[in-house]
Structure 1
């Protein structure tokens, strides 16, 4: 039985922080594989700054050479009404029936799920396992205890909390802003992705 982490994000663009985070989570949680899952540009709560093709190409560039990293465009291909993390995890559990599936997310998303803001929040928590990364200013244990949705699923196996060393705040939006304002974010993204963004004049 393998342990697989599903790492969903806009990856707009993918950054060295994404890669470092994934590598650290894989090491600490003894994961055999991490699936980078770019979200769909059809989601009503997301506005992408570049095309799916560019995001996808840069993810493939970024993870090349790491045997534990793979990319999957499952959510990119879904119709808008079928995009929900609950359905996504159901898909991967069916694809890997003999393996343990974990959804990797930040503590800010844990708060949203705990407040019932996600589709099928209750079923999502009851039927899946999560690796939750610290975010500055968020007390994860307090968030779980304050939410009926979260605390009633907290059986000691549902949540793997990573509370130290993963609260880096360099984001994709920071990198987009640097490109837009003529800054130099070169060493915040993989070299090949940086060259790709410059060649295609992205985020200008």
Structure 2
């Protein structure tokens, strides 16, 4: 039985911190695999700046040398009005029925789930396991204790909280702004992805 972490994000573009975070989580939580799950540009709740195929290509380039990393374009292929994290995790549990599946997320998303902002929030927590990374200003234990959805569906193994050492920030937004304004974001993202952005003139058309 393997331990698999599902790492969802826009990856617009993927950054070196995305890779470092995935590697650190895999090491600390003894994961056998981390699956990078790019969100679809068709989603109504996210504004993305690059077509799906560009983000997918960059993810594949960024992770190709790490045998623990893989990518899945499941969400990119789904109808956006039917897409929720609950369905996504059911997909992975059906795909890997003999493995333990963990959803990797930041503490800000934990708060949102606890406040019922996600579809099927109660079933999502009750039926799944989460690796939660600390975010500045968020007390994760307090967030769990104050939310009936979180505390009443926690069997003691639902949440793996990582509260130290994951505060490094290089945002995709910063990288997009650097490209758009003629800056130099080299070394903030994998070299292959940096060259891909230059070659395809990504993020240069407008101020982001």
- Settle same-fold status: TM greater than 0.5: yes
**What's the counterpart of residue 141 of structure 1?**
141
Distance in 1 of aligned mates of 2:40 and 2:50 = 12
Task: Check if 1:76 corresponds to 2:76.
Answer: yes
**TM-score under structure 2 length normalisation:** 0.97
Task: Check if 1:121 corresponds to 2:131.
Answer: no
**What's the counterpart of residue 6 of structure 1?**
6
Aligned-residue offset at 1:43: 1.0
Distance in 1 of aligned mates of 2:107 and 2:12 = 20
Distance in 2 of aligned mates of 1:113 and 1:77 = 24
**What's the counterpart of residue 177 of structure 1?**
177
Aligned-residue offset at 1:153: 1.8
Number of equivalenced pairs: 204
Deviations 1:8-34 (A, max 9, x none): 000000000000000000000000000
Distance in 1 of aligned mates of 2:203 and 2:101 = 34
Distance in 1 of aligned mates of 2:12 and 2:127 = 29
Distance in 2 of aligned mates of 1:144 and 1:168 = 24
Task: Check if 1:32 corresponds to 2:32.
Answer: yes
**TM-score under structure 1 length normalisation:** 0.98
**Moved segments of 4+, more than 4 Å:** none
**What's the counterpart of residue 107 of structure 1?**
107
Aligned-residue offset at 1:171: 0.9
Deviations 1:54-99 (A, max 9, x none): 0000000000110000000000000112210000000000010000
Q: Secondary structure at the match of 2:187?
A: helix
Q: Which ranges in structure 1 are unaligned for 5 or more consecutive residues?
A: none
Distance in 1 of aligned mates of 2:71 and 2:167 = 23
**What's the counterpart of residue 165 of structure 1?**
165
Aligned-residue offset at 1:41: 1.0
Query: Residues 125 and 154 of structure 2 are in contact (CA less than 8 Å); yes or no, is this contact kept in structure 1?
Result: no
Deviations 1:133-154 (A, max 9, x none): 0111111011101111011122
Q: Which ranges in structure 2 are unaligned for 5 or more consecutive residues?
A: none
